[in-house]
Amino acid sequence: MSKKIAKVVKLELIGGQAKPGPKLASAGVVMPKFCTEFNARTSDRIGEVVPTIITAYEDKTFDFVIKTTPVAILLLKEAGIEKGSGNAKTTKVGHISKDQLRKIAEYKMPDLNANDVEAAMKIVEGSARNMGITVDD
């Protein structure tokens, strides 16, 4: 017999630094247990934003899936800027190389809807363009 799902919550937490709080309270999980497990599984990604999907069950147990860091954060880090452009069409705020673009696309492949790295690169390049970041050839 399968467990009955009480709630599914998507959160962006900092790797290795989860702590009890209102975000986790809304998920309906045993907070100390979740924090311990999450911090252990993300100890290699300390300080990074880690998207997480938490499935809470009616018996207070839970499962969680850890995703890769969002593309926007990776692009900002590679371009060495703090934020994207307010008007991406007219104001360019940074540059990245094709190699940096490929590195991001390869990292994001498990979470992207792409069949190969070239398609993933186009997705990431579109995000860069919308942030005012130019991709140099």
Which sequence spans correspond to the domains of the chain?
5-66, 71-136
> Taking Cα atoms as reference points, which of 90, 98, 134 lies closest to residue 117?
98
For residue 135, give Cα distances in angstroms to 27, 91, 97: 39, 14, 6
pLDDT digits (tens, 9 = 90+) for 13-46: 999 998 888 888 888 888 899 999 999 999 998 9
The CATH architecture assigned to 5-66 reads 2-Layer Sandwich (3.30)
> Do 5-66 and 71-136 show the same overall fold?
no
Asked whether the beta carbons of 127 and 75 are under 8 A apart, the reply is yes
Strands 133-136 and 94-97: parallel
Residue 7 reports pLDDT greater than 70:
yes
Mean pLDDT of 78-98: 89
Asked whether the beta carbons of 74 and 50 are under 8 A apart, the reply is no
CATH pick for 71-136 out of 1.25.40.10, 1.10.10.250, 3.40.50.970, 3.30.70.1060: 1.10.10.250
Give 6's contacts (C-beta < 8 A, 6+ positions apart): 28, 56, 57, 58
